[in-house]
């Protein structure tokens, strides 16, 4: 209902190659409405931007798109996945962002041998064969967000994450990481998803804590940061950068200043590939890309590179996923390849939200060049100075 | 001590937002017998309109005024041209308002996009005030004052004026009021518009706390329905008491049992429904 769900046909440009090759059918199945609608739409837009920059082709073949909305509902996600695979007969799929939806469609897609690139971050979603991820692993990145403030010298942390499965994972791995870096956790708070008023949560903050490690998303993230600023607390905040992602910053404003954390993508990453990507994205959509948009663009790069390897052939699914697994890319987020579980190995950028030229933005302080998606102490570069 | 003070103030300020949100809903139900599913849409549209006006003009009060007026007009049009045709048909009316809820949600998404936003606070109410050994957000203190003021004005309007008397009489016996020569359809339209305006005001006052995003209409309507159920359908006094109950229960519940916060706001409703199914002040 929120978005037209009709199939979108990108007409193939008539050329000798196009005449020679039938279009490849690509399904996009993600969250286009509901609480994660803005994020899923960004993922789709990132993917569409890749197509636009490549003559609507993947590996030389013209692309025929079928776009479906999960509406953030696993039941809908599985129904739409079946429709895409069995009735539309798509060759490859760009899959959901919401972890619950990724988990819901995983087994079905594997049974269909459907080459899938998705962004859901819960670890179990990738299968090491057909399901690939272009975002990050929830466990490993939660661990990293816990490890960083401990490494920076904070000793007593309070942890805040929403009360659902991904929030519980975040709390568990924040703690593991923080403890591994020598700290102790003094308080864990898990407000409900969609908490209308964070006043009660923030007034519970323990005086003993010297740092807060936070995971919030969407509307909750805005209310949380704003309320935190209203109460005039001076507690330094670390955590998942989704809490202050670039679609939320305009609403959070100065309340987001000082928040630190690590993520795989920010629009402020200084590289030629990213400058080009940001310029193209801004031209097409009039806003900065956030991590989920970059993930959608990278999904395009993965499929494009793999189909180039197979000379555009997608019938042999095993050959196609083998080619996907072998891709080596330079993306807007840096160097990119997959590990044995189809998790991306790509850099992590440590950032702090700061005001530069009267613009509130993530300022990249340093980079972990090759972040292995594992929940263990990361190899931090010696010159990295963390906010303290 | 400061624990009690801060949580009491949190609970009170949230309660006042709840009251402004639910007063219109209960008033409309009391007189028109419409369960207005689109009540949350008025919150959302009011908040968004205020947001756009404040961004353009930098005046909070102007934003509030234009949001209330615009949404009142919208409410009046909606009642006059659609709901009035289904007078006394409760189920079709509810379904119609549900349809409006979806339409307004799409409209808001189309105009203001899907990224979550907050209504900016008036500049004078930014930051925290220090007193009694605590720092407390100025805006929340102001909310408590405004909420009480709105409650007193509503009470005075309903109990102390001729219009209020007509509305109260209409709640008790619509036919008799009609027989007295009062233009009850006009009163219906006016009350529906007024209720919509109150919800829009809730969007502007609550917007800096609760935020504006696709789905906020559902979340807010949910809270308003809880308050109205606890207070008793149709009773402003009940809505006020229920807002205090729900606001304080939710706050102290979240503070004491954070793991149970999913239903601390709902507990008062469960208890009240079990003991007094018509609500605290309901007349059944």
Interval B113-136: pLDDT, tens: 877 888 888 988 888 888 887 888
Indicate whether A25 and A126 sit together in one domain.
yes
CA distances from B242 to A106, A185, A324, B237, B255 (A): 45, 38, 58, 9, 20
Q: In sequence order, what DSSP letters do the residues of A11-61 get, joined into one string?
A: PPPP-HHHHHSPPEEEEEEE--SSTTHHHHHHHHHHHHHHHHHTTTEETTE
How high is the pLDDT of residue A14? 39
* Residue A312: inside a domain: yes
Cβ distance A204 to B115 less than 8 Å, yes or no, reads no
pLDDT at B1 over 70: no
What's the CA gap between B41 and B97, in Å, rounded?
10
Cβ distance A194 to B13 less than 8 Å, yes or no, reads no
Indicate whether A107 and A144 sit together in one domain.
no
Tell me how close the Cα of B153 comes to any Cα of chain A, in angstroms.
26
Indicate whether A30 and A114 sit together in one domain.
yes
**Quick one: closest CA in A to B120, which residue?**
A251
* Residue A181: inside a domain: yes
Pairwise pLDDT comparison (B74 vs B127), residue with the higher score: B74
Indicate whether A144 and A243 sit together in one domain.
yes
Tell me how close the Cα of B139 comes to any Cα of chain A, in angstroms.
9
* Chains A–B, number of C-beta pairs less than 8 Å apart: 113
* Whole-number average pLDDT of chain B: 90
Tell me how close the Cα of A223 comes to any Cα of chain B, in angstroms.
6
How high is the pLDDT of residue B80? 94
Q: What is the pLDDT along chain A (388 residues), one digit of tens a residue?
A: 444 444 333 333 334 444 457 899 999 999 988 778 888 999 999 999 999 999 999 999 999 999 999 988 999 999 999 999 999 999 999 999 998 899 999 999 999 999 999 999 988 899 999 999 999 999 999 999 999 999 999 999 999 999 887 899 999 999 999 999 999 999 999 988 878 888 888 988 999 999 999 999 888 899 999 999 988 888 999 999 999 998 889 889 999 999 999 999 999 999 999 999 999 999 999 999 999 999 999 999 999 999 999 999 999 999 999 999 999 999 999 999 999 999 999 999 999 999 999 999 999 999 999 999 999 999 898 888 898 8
Given a contact cutoff of 8 angstroms between Cβ atoms, the answer to whether B226 and B265 are in contact is yes
Put simply, whether A162 touches B (Cβ < 8 Å) is no
How high is the pLDDT of residue A43? 96
* Residue A184: inside a domain: yes
Indicate whether A76 and A194 sit together in one domain.
no
Indicate whether A213 and A361 sit together in one domain.
yes
How high is the pLDDT of residue B114? 79
Put simply, whether A153 touches B (Cβ < 8 Å) is no
* Residue A179: inside a domain: yes
* Residue A328: inside a domain: yes
pLDDT tens digits for range A38-51 = 889 999 999 999 99
User: Burial level of A279, CB count in 10 A (0-12/13-18/19+)?
Assistant: exposed
* Residue A377: inside a domain: no
Task: Give chain B positions within 8 Å (CB) of A203.
Answer: 3, 6-7, 10, 255
In degrees and rounded to multiples of 5, residue A354 shows phi and psi of -135, 165
> What's the CATH code of the domain at A148?
3.40.50.2300
Task: Give chain A positions within 8 Å (CB) of B214.
Answer: 2, 33-35, 37
**Residue range B53-77: mean pLDDT, rounded:** 95
* Residue A3: inside a domain: no
Say how many domains are in chain A: 2
Task: Give chain A positions within 8 Å (CB) of B105.
Answer: 2
What is the SS3 string spanning A174-190? HHHHHHHCCCEEEEEEC
Given a contact cutoff of 8 angstroms between Cβ atoms, the answer to whether A238 and A211 are in contact is yes
Cβ distance A195 to B261 less than 8 Å, yes or no, reads yes
Q: Which domain holds residue A88?
A: 16-136+270-342
pLDDT at B97 over 90: yes
pLDDT at B50 over 80: yes
How confident is residue B257, by pLDDT bands cut at 50, 70 and 90? confident
How high is the pLDDT of residue A20? 52
A contact residues 30-69, partner B, Cβ 8 Å cutoff: 33-35, 37-38, 41
**Quick one: closest CA in B to A290, which residue?**
B115
Task: Give chain B positions within 8 Å (CB) of A222.
Answer: 116-118, 211
Task: Give chain A positions within 8 Å (CB) of B251.
Answer: 197, 199-200
Indicate whether A148 and A87 sit together in one domain.
no
How high is the pLDDT of residue B268? 85
**Quick one: closest CA in A to B249, which residue?**
A200
The residues on B that touch A, with CB distances below 8 Å, are 3, 6-7, 10-11, 13-14, 102, 105-106, 109, 113-118, 127-128, 135-137, 139-140, 208-211, 213-216, 219, 223, 250-252, 254-255, 258-259, 261-262
What's the CA gap between B128 and A382, in Å, rounded?
40
Cβ distance B137 to A247 less than 8 Å, yes or no, reads no
Indicate whether A253 and A276 sit together in one domain.
no
Substitution target in A73, A192, A216, A252 with the highest count of B β-carbons within 10 Å is A192
For the record, the structure tokens of A103 come out as 């988990």
**Residue range B103-119: mean pLDDT, rounded:** 89
What's the CA gap between A97 and A91, in Å, rounded?
20
Indicate whether A145 and A131 sit together in one domain.
no
* Residue A114: inside a domain: yes
Cβ distance A230 to B128 less than 8 Å, yes or no, reads yes
How high is the pLDDT of residue A230? 87
Indicate whether A236 and A362 sit together in one domain.
yes
Indicate whether A22 and A114 sit together in one domain.
yes
pLDDT tens digits for range A14-28 = 344 444 578 999 999
How confident is residue B92, by pLDDT bands cut at 50, 70 and 90? very high
How high is the pLDDT of residue A80? 96
Q: In sequence order, what DSSP letters do the residues of A89-154 get, joined into one string?
A: --SEEE--SSHHHHHHHHHHHHHTT--EEE----GGG--SSSEEESS--HHHHHHHHHHHHHHHT-
Compute the half-sphere exposure of residue A309: CA atoms within 13 Å on the CB side of its CA: 18
The complex's ipTM works out to: 0.75
Cβ distance B117 to A222 less than 8 Å, yes or no, reads yes
Number of Cβ within 10 Å of residue A103's Cβ equals 17
In degrees and rounded to multiples of 5, residue A150 shows phi and psi of -65, -45
Number of Cβ within 10 Å of residue A19's Cβ equals 9
Query: Of B116, B219, B223, which has the smallest distance from its Cβ to A248's Cβ?
Result: B116
The partner residues of A348 in beta bridges, in order of sequence, read: A368
How high is the pLDDT of residue B240? 95
Indicate whether A230 and A311 sit together in one domain.
no
- Name the nearest CA neighbour of A195 among B92, B223, B179: B223
What is the per-residue burial (b if ≥16 Cβ within 10 Å, else e) of A293-326? bbbbbbbbbbbbbbbbbbebbbeebeebbebbbe
């Amino acid at each position: 209902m929120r978005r037209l769900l009709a199939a979108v046909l990108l007409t193939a440009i008539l050329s000798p190659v196009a005449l020679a090759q039938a279009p490849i059918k690509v399904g996009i199945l993600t969250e286009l409405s509901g609480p994660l609608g803005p994020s899923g739409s960004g993922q789709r837009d990132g993917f569409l931007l890749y197509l636009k920059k490549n003559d609507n082709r993947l590996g030389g073949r013209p692309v025929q798109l079928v776009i479906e909305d999960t509406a953030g509902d696993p039941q809908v996600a599985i129904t739409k996945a079946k429709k895409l695979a069995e009735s539309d007969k798509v060759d490859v799929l760009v899959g959901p962002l919401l972890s619950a939806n990724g988990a819901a469609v995983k087994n079905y897609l594997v049974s269909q041998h459907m080459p899938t690139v998705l962004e859901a971050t819960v670890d179990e979603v990738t299968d090491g064969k057909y399901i690939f991820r272009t975002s990050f692993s929830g466990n490993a990145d939660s661990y990293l967000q816990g490890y960083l403030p401990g490494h920076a010298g904070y000793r007593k942390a309070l942890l805040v994450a929403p009360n659902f499965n991904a929030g519980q994972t975040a709390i568990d791995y924040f703690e593991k990481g923080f403890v591994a870096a020598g700290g102790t956790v003094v308080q864990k708070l898990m407000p409900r998803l969609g908490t209308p008023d964070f006043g009660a949560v923030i007034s519970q903050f323990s005086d003993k804590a010297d740092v807060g490690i936070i995971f919030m998303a969407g509307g909750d993230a805005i209310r949380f940061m704003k309320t935190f600023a209203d109460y005039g607390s001076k507690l330094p905040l670390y955590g998942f950068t989704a809490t202050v992602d670039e679609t939320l910053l305009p609403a959070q404003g100065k309340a987001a200043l000082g928040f630190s954390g690590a993520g795989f993508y920010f629009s402020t990453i200084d590289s030629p590939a990213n400058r080009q990507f940001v310029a193209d994205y801004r031209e097409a959509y009039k806003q900065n890309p956030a991590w989920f948009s970059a993930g959608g663009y990278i999904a395009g790069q993965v499929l494009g590179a793999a189909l180039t390897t197979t000379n555009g052939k997608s019938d042999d699914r095993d050959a196609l996923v083998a080619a996907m697994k072998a891709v080596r890319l330079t993306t807007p987020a840096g160097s990119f390849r997959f590990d044995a579980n189809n998790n991306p190995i790509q850099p992590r950028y440590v950032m702090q939200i700061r005001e530069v030229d009267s613009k509130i933005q993530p300022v990249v302080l340093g980079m972990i060049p090759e972040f292995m998606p594992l929940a263990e102490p990361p190899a931090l570069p010696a010159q990295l100075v963390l906010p303290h | 001590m400061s624990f009690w003070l801060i949580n009491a103030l949190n609970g009170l300020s949230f309660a006042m937002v709840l009251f402004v949100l639910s007063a219109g809903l209960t008033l409309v139900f009391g007189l028109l017998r419409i369960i207005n599913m689109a009540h949350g849409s008025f919150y959302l549209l009011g908040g968004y309109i205020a947001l756009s006006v404040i961004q353009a003009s930098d005046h909070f009060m102007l934003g509030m005024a234009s949001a209330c007026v615009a949404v009142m007009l919208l409410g009046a049009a909606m009642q006059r041209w659609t709901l009035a045709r289904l007078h006394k048909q409760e189920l079709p009316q509810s379904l119609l308002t549900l349809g409006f809820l979806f339409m307004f949600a799409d409209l808001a998404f189309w105009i203001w996009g899907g990224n979550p936003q907050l209504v900016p606070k008036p500049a004078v109410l930014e930051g925290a005030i220090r007193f009694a050994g605590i720092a407390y957000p100025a805006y929340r203190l102001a909310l408590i004052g405004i909420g009480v003021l709105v409650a007193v004005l509503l009470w005075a309007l309903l109990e102390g004026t001729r219009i209020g008397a007509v509305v109260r009489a209409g709640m008790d016996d619509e036919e008799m009021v009609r027989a007295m020569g009062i233009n009850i359809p006009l009163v219906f339209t006016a009350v529906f518009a007024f209720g919509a305006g109150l919800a829009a005001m809730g969007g502007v006052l609550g917007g800096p706390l609760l935020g504006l995003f696709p789905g906020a209409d559902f979340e807010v309507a949910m809270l308003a329905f809880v308050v109205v159920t606890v207070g008793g359908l149709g009773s402003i006094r009940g809505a006020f008491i229920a807002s205090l109950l729900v606001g304080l229960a939710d706050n102290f519940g979240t503070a004491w049992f954070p793991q149970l916060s999913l239903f601390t706001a709902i507990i008062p409703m469960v208890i009240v429904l079990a003991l007094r199914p018509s609500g605290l002040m309901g007349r059944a």
